[in-house]
Structure 1
Amino acid sequence: MIEGPEDIPKTVNRTEAFHRIIPPEEIKYLQGICHSRYIKKNDFFIKQGDTLSPMAIINKGLFRVYCVDYEGNDKTLAFRKEEQFLSGYTPILKNQPIWYSIQALEDSLISYIEFEQYSTLLKKNFCWVELSHHYVIGLFMEKEERERSLLMDDALTRYRNFTQTFPDYTNRISQYHIASYLGITPSSLSRIRANSKNN
């Protein structure tokens, strides 16, 4: 498990994109500018309305990405766990406030750089542009699959796909947040889980 900036090189052996794209000297440079931050359960990495976002990797813990609709209901967009990236891309792409929040579901530890440092990295070496491109493509593919599932799959299929894709999440995430991610009510999720056990 990565525990701080000094352990960033270990990520290379577990993250294919880092290993393929980022040379050792750039990893060493990143190690020198990274900071560590402990985020308690239910505290926030970023909040809706923020205009800047650090770029971070999760060393330990679990986060959810969510927004609040016009009726005050929160809608879970995604979950992020160890060795995944955290960021709010809206200010970067559109120069607008972030429209979602990222909240810790567990006591968590991240390594991060500020937005200005990230901008410097992009200018310093093209490998960071390539890594960012790789990350954004991954986000697009995740978003596309989620939209397809919400439009075309029934609730039972969405639940089964969720448990198969993220088997460790069911023991780490509350039923309320899983239901929010699947686009159903907690009571509907309870029925689906009960039926799945009986079948």
Structure 2
Amino acid sequence: MDELIAYILQFGSLNQQQIDLLISKGKVLHLKKDDYFSEAGKIPGQVGFVVQGVVRGCYYNNKGEEITRCFISENSLVCDYVNFEANVSSSEYLQAITDCQLIVFSKNDWEELSQIIVGWDSIKNKMVQLCMYQKSRKNPVISQDASTRYMEFMENYPSLINRIPLSHIASYLGVTQQSLSRIRKNIR
């Protein structure tokens, strides 16, 4: 919980009573590799904070190919927030690609924090904005060549290169695994 509290306090101040309330609402969730945090076709029901592990956001394109959209690692929020707030079915999956430990808040508990903690909405909005920015700004630019996209991936996600399957990195970069292997071989 310490990691979560430190994360939240970057965005605003809370007194000890408010911190204790937050701690009482957060539940520890363990996901095994390949388990889903949320699934397409279902309404997202929780907000999570990644304490340990890596989650990926993915979807299936109109050809039925699985596309990795983003990676979410330690000290970050994880949630399909737009659909969570709108209470509508998601079109994406959030899947653990390593064993993960998260602190999760149900929709009711997340909303209750807004009613009880003065200033929570401001803190929450800043956290959500950062979460959405991190997921969108690191998408590879498909007009770049594959080597450039991989170099940018290494720059943006240095701690993930040896922690996640190459198939997910290749999907994220929009290349085949064979192409990724060639790129990696040429860079070394």
* Cα shift at 1:174: 1.0
| Structure 2 partner of 1:33 | 25
- Relative distance call for 1:132 and 1:192 in structure 2 (3 A) is same
Q: Gapped runs of 5+ residues in structure 2?
A: none
**Contact preservation (8 Å) 1:90, 1:97:** no
- Relative distance call for 1:146 and 1:168 in structure 2 (3 A) is closer
Instruction: Name which of 17, 41, 45 aligns with 1:53.
Output: 45
* Cα shift at 1:161: 1.1
* Cα shift at 1:102: 0.8
TM-score w.r.t. the length of structure 1 is 0.84
| Structure 1 partner of 2:176 | 185
Q: Is 2:98 the counterpart of 1:77?
A: no
**Contact preservation (8 Å) 2:27, 2:105:** yes
After TM superposition, the structure 1 = structure 2 runs for residues 1-199 of structure 1, keeping only pairs within 5 Å, are 8-13=1-6, 15=7, 17-23=8-14, 24-146=16-138, 149-197=140-188
The C-alpha deviation readout for 1:47-95, integer Å capped at 9, x for no partner, is: 1111132111112211111011122111111111122111121334444
Distance in 1 (CA, whole Å) between partners of 2:83 and 2:135 is: 18
- Relative distance call for 1:132 and 1:151 in structure 2 (3 A) is farther
**Contact preservation (8 Å) 1:55, 1:112:** yes
SS across alignment from 1:150: coil
- Relative distance call for 1:142 and 1:59 in structure 2 (3 A) is closer
SS across alignment from 2:18: helix
Q: Gapped runs of 5+ residues in structure 1?
A: 1-7
* Cα shift at 1:154: 2.2
* Cα shift at 1:135: 2.5
- Relative distance call for 1:141 and 1:57 in structure 2 (3 A) is closer
Distance in 1 (CA, whole Å) between partners of 2:133 and 2:82 is: 17
- Give the residue type in structure 1 aligned to 2:162: N
- Relative distance call for 1:152 and 1:143 in structure 2 (3 A) is farther
Deviates more, 1:93-102 or 1:113-122: 93-102
Number of paired residues? 187
The C-alpha deviation readout for 1:10-38, integer Å capped at 9, x for no partner, is: 4444x3x5244141332211111221111
- Relative distance call for 1:38 and 1:12 in structure 2 (3 A) is closer
- Relative distance call for 1:77 and 1:19 in structure 2 (3 A) is same
Percent identity (aligned): 25
Which is richer in helix?
1
| Structure 2 partner of 1:5 | none
